[in-house]
Amino acid sequence: MLTHVVFDADETLIDLRPAVTGGLVAVLEEMRRLTPAAAGVSLAELESDWHAVFAAMSAVPVMEIRRTALARSLARAGLDAHLDDVAALFFARRFALTRPFPDVLPALTALRGRYTLGYATNGNSRAERCGLAGEFAFELYAHENGLPKKPAPEFFAAVVEAAGVPAERILYVGDSPSHDVLAARRAGLRAVWLNRLGLPRPPGVPADAEVSTLADVPDAIGRLSAEREMSEA
């Protein structure tokens, strides 16, 4: 019997991309204000700096990855000395623009009456800064208290510990087939793949259910419960 539903944050609950883009636009504007040498720097280059740094540092905290990517961007215009101020500008703008997807709050309301809700993320989208304050019984953030990032089994062990119930009573919902579905299933949790973009499911990803919107999660849980009851009858 499922008693807990735990959610990934970025691109599951949090519409992160517009916020990050807005933060980078603010950075680019500040770079161009500081020096004419930044006139030739593009938004695409700032975005590519994140991808390059993330590829090399994916296991470290997200804020550290972002600062390193911003340092790389600033170096394009000789603005290395401005990292602290520009990083503060980026994060202020990023969080000011961060919002949950429109389907999030109605889905949480629909689930809360029957399930305990949790929030567990690799990123730095703290619930209280993203329009989700007070929505969850517990929150877990990678790299706090030494917690490694998904897909490490220790991450999901921490989810189970925070929930206080056996792993099979927890459903994890996320947008990453590898980090949110496969890793959760390997740790003994149930898992729903949130496939907002309608992508084909990668081979070897045993999601218990697939949904395109969080509005469908309550029905997906109902089907899972009915299937289990039939298998145990």
pLDDT tens digit sequence for 101-119: 999 999 999 999 999 999 9
What per-residue confidence (pLDDT) applies to 148? 96
Q: At residue 138, what are phi and psi to the nearest 5 degrees?
A: -150, 155
What per-residue confidence (pLDDT) applies to 206? 87
What per-residue confidence (pLDDT) applies to 231? 60
Burial 84-101 (b: 16+ CB within 10 A, else e): eebbebbbebbeebbbbb
What per-residue confidence (pLDDT) applies to 127? 97
Q: What pLDDT band is residue 232 in, cutting at 50, 70 and 90?
A: low
Distance CA 140, CA 16 (A): 18
* Of 166, 170, 172, 231, the residue nearest 207 (C-alpha): 172
Instruction: Report the percentage of the chain scoring pLDDT > 70.
Output: 97
pLDDT tens digit sequence for 38-89: 999 999 999 999 999 999 999 999 999 999 999 999 999 999 999 999 999 9
What per-residue confidence (pLDDT) applies to 57? 95
* Of 134, 38, 39, the residue nearest 79 (C-alpha): 38
pTM of the model: 0.93
What per-residue confidence (pLDDT) applies to 204? 87
Q: What is the 3-state secondary structure (H, E, C) of the chain?
A: CCCEEEECCECCCECHHHHHHHHHHHHHHHHHHHCHHHHHCCHHHHHHHHHHHHHHHCCCCHHHHHHHHHHHHHHCCCCHHHHHHHHHHHHHHHHHHCCECCCHHHHHHHHHCCCEEEEEECCCCCHHHCCCCCCCCEEEECCHHHCCCCCCHHHHHHHHHHHCCCHHHEEEEECCHHHHHHHHHHCCCEEEEECCCCCCCCCCCCCCEEECCHHHHHHHHHHHHHHHHHHHC
